[in-house]
Amino acid sequence: MPDRKFRDDPLPRTWPGTGPEPDRTDGTDESDAERRRRRARFLRDLAEARELRDRVQPRRAKTARLRHAMRMRTFRW
């Protein structure tokens, strides 16, 4: 029926939240703050994952530390 407001397709082509963001009327300050908040959370999660990996695989962590130290020694300022 043409007067229905929904589609019969069970898998829509675009999922909610994946399209372009709607324009915000309160300015870019809030979007910048939100972006910084998301970035800080991502970096915290990344550091936590790195610590977990180091705890679970100590030998790999040690070789990564040694490799990083060697890179830093051979780097010229």
Kindly tell me if the per-residue pLDDT of 69 is higher than 70.
Answer: yes
Is the full-model pTM beyond 0.75?
no
Describe the crossing of helices 28-56 and 58-74 by its angle, rounded to 10 degrees. 110
CA distances from 68 to 1, 51, 74, 77 (A): 65, 16, 10, 16
Distance CA 32, CA 76 (A): 36
pLDDT of residue 13: 54
User: In this predicted model, what pLDDT tens digit does every residue of 20-58 receive, in sequence order?
Assistant: 555 555 555 678 999 999 999 999 999 999 899 888 988
- Selection from 74, 73, 54 nearest residue 63 by Cα: 54
